Structure 1
Amino acid sequence: MKSAYLVLDMQNEIVHEEGPYAKGPIGAEVRGRGVLANTRRAIDKARHAGVLVIFVRVGFSADYKECPAGSPMFAPARDKKLFLLGSWGTEIHAALGRQENEAIITKHRVSPFFSTGLEALLRAQGVERIFVSGVSTTAVVQAAVREAHDRDYACSVIEDGCAAASAEEHRQSIDMLARFGSVTTSDRVVFAG
């Protein structure tokens, strides 16, 4: 079964120690859980196994025309000029060592599947199983797994590569996601090309 690893929203504005989320609860959870190191460990294992690594980020053009004005999650992005494509904030965190041949999918909503080329890429590559991790567990990770499940992909969440605004939110999300696939860690994950 051919696999892909989706690395979700691991961009500077969300996970970098100098990004706007660093001083808040998500930043504290990312640091406390060692999410960057755990994700890099999983990425290295996926590469070694020949598994397709795909980075997903949220981003908007300079006029924010794709940004949903009525969304409580995204409306502040326009006001604070966050997630501007071409800026440092939408770059994948350097600690993850993204390689030039690894795809970046840009999304304008929570789900990495909504109005993006992700599914076309997965289908073109013959992917049947996806591994996922990212920030936050309650948003993009849940959306990715639920939608992938409904598109008939086998799913596996790399739990220690995820974080939410609190340990409790993360735990509850992982408990729910276990209904849609398997849960593993960066130490235990076994990738199969």
Structure 2
Amino acid sequence: MTQSVYLVLDMQNELVHEDGPAAKGPMGALLKERRTLENTQLAIERARAAGVKVGFVRVGFSDDYHECPTGSPLFGGAPKASMFKLGTWGTEIHPSLDQQPGDIQVVKHRVSPFYSTTLLAQLSAAGIRRIYCSGVSTQAVVQACVRDAHDRDFQVVVIEDACCAHSEQEHQNSIQSISRFCTVEKAATVNFAA
């Protein structure tokens, strides 16, 4: 069996909790409609049952936001909005998602979970060759993870129904775009034991 990990991408309170700021936008309704949290929890349970490592990736910045790219259309407004501040409720992983001691933990300052993080070192140390992944949003972190992992010669599997975007069209377009670089599966049927 190939050494594998299931990476849960950016499923943090500010982005997926019903009390978080993202819940007020279009993605909030889609998270419920797609049952993204429930499907993620199912995938975590099934991964653990198959002996697959689980990892949690979150975006976060220090109190002074010195890692935050001020010119970024995506992150530039974070300091003013006090978003993505490490050590706060907003950057904690959603409480319904089961974290355990020994899980891979990654903090990132850009879209890709590979950019200037410890992810590659942790995967290498664990002998990982296959990455299962899902998260929010499909058009940002999921796409970035798939493309970067592919170019680093990992086998990649996206758990589609544990992903969400700002619209169903953006989600479907993203899945169609990355399907050339990965396999696309569902939480209830993905074969973690492969």
Question: Shorter chain as normaliser: what TM range?
Answer: over 0.9
The match for 1:106 is: 107
Matched ranges for 1:38-53 at <5 A: 38-53=39-54
1:79 is aligned to 2:80: yes
Partners of 2:28 and 2:3 lie apart in 1 by 33
The match for 1:131 is: 132
Give 3-state SS (helix, strand or coil) of 1:104's partner: strand
The match for 2:96 is: 95
Instruction: Tell me the CA shift for residue 103 of structure 1.
Output: 2.2
Partners of 1:130 and 1:81 lie apart in 2 by 32
1:19 is aligned to 2:20: yes
Instruction: Tell me the CA shift for residue 100 of structure 1.
Output: 2.4
1:28 is aligned to 2:34: no
The match for 1:6 is: 7
Amino acid at match of 2:31: V
The match for 1:141 is: 142
Provide structure 2 residue ranges, at least 5 long, that are not aligned to the other structure: none
Q: Residue 2 of structure 1 contacts residue 192 of structure 1 at CA under 8 Å; is this kept in 2?
A: no
Instruction: Tell me the CA shift for residue 122 of structure 1.
Output: 0.5
Amino acid at match of 2:44: I
Query: TM-score, structure 2 length as denominator?
Result: 0.98
Q: Deviations over 1:103-159 (max 9, x none)?
A: 210000000000000000001111100000000000000000000000000000000
Count matched residues. 193
- Root mean square deviation of aligned Cα: 0.8
Q: Residue 42 of structure 1 contacts residue 186 of structure 1 at CA under 8 Å; is this kept in 2?
A: yes
Moved more, 112-121 or 96-105: 96-105
Instruction: Tell me the CA shift for residue 177 of structure 1.
Output: 1.1
Instruction: Tell me the CA shift for residue 170 of structure 1.
Output: 0.1
